[in-house]
């Protein structure tokens, strides 16, 4: 376990969901499910975040916001698509302004499907994301040493 996975910070963004997944993300962050036991802290600043939790689908109005948040995050970073709308646009896939899931805008590392996604699934996705974050941190460190 590297420094990056001991206390990762999470930034959460709601693309355009019904808010069902947002409530579940907040439930995962609260003491009932206590994702903080993994050292995870919610932040509002992308420059401090290691994990990007996205709920809701990507549409014409928010694609630039999603990309901007992603670009402001420092490497290594992990993106988690929470809920079926973030994974594949869900029930909104036929809407005129919906582009699709989060992977249409930025690369996604972990998918947590569900409508609404359960806090247990979010925690599982975050733990999977921690493994990916550790791999990315090691690869970034190896690239620095090799360069």
pTM: 0.92
Does residue 79 form part of some domain? yes
Q: Domain span at residue 139?
A: 9-146
Does residue 4 form part of some domain? no
pLDDT value, residue 6: 75
Does residue 54 form part of some domain? yes
In the chain, how many domains are there?
1
Q: Chain-centre distance of CA 47, in angstroms?
A: 14
Could you state, in chain order, the average pLDDT of each consecutive group of 10 residues for the chain (147 residues)?
A: 74 88 89 83 93 94 96 95 93 90 95 93 93 92 81
Please report the sign of the dihedral spanned by the C-alpha atoms of residue 103, residue 105, residue 110, residue 113.
negative
pLDDT value, residue 5: 64
Distance, in Å, from the CA atom of 45 to the CA atom of 21, rounded to the nearest integer, reads: 21
CATH number of the structural domain spanning residue 67: 3.40.50.12280
Closest CA to 129 of 45, 34, 4, 3: 4
pLDDT value, residue 144: 85
Does residue 3 form part of some domain? no
């Amino acid at each position: 376990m590297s420094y990056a996975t001991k206390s990762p910070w999470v930034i959460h963004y709601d693309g355009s969901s019904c808010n069902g997944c947002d409530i579940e993300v907040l439930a995962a962050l609260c003491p009932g499910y206590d994702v903080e036991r993994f050292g995870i802290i919610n932040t509002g600043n992308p420059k401090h975040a290691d994990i990007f939790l996205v709920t809701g689908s990507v549409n014409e109005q928010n694609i630039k916001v999603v990309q901007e948040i992603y670009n402001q995050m420092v490497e290594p970073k992990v993106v988690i698509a929470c809920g079926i709308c973030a994974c594949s646009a869900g029930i909104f896939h036929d809407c005129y302004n919906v582009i699709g899931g989060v992977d249409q805008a930025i690369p996604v590392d972990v998918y947590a499907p569900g409508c609404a996604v359960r806090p247990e699934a979010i925690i599982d996705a975050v733990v999977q994301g921690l493994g990916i974050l550790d791999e990315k941190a090691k690869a970034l460190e190896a690239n620095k040493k090799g360069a």
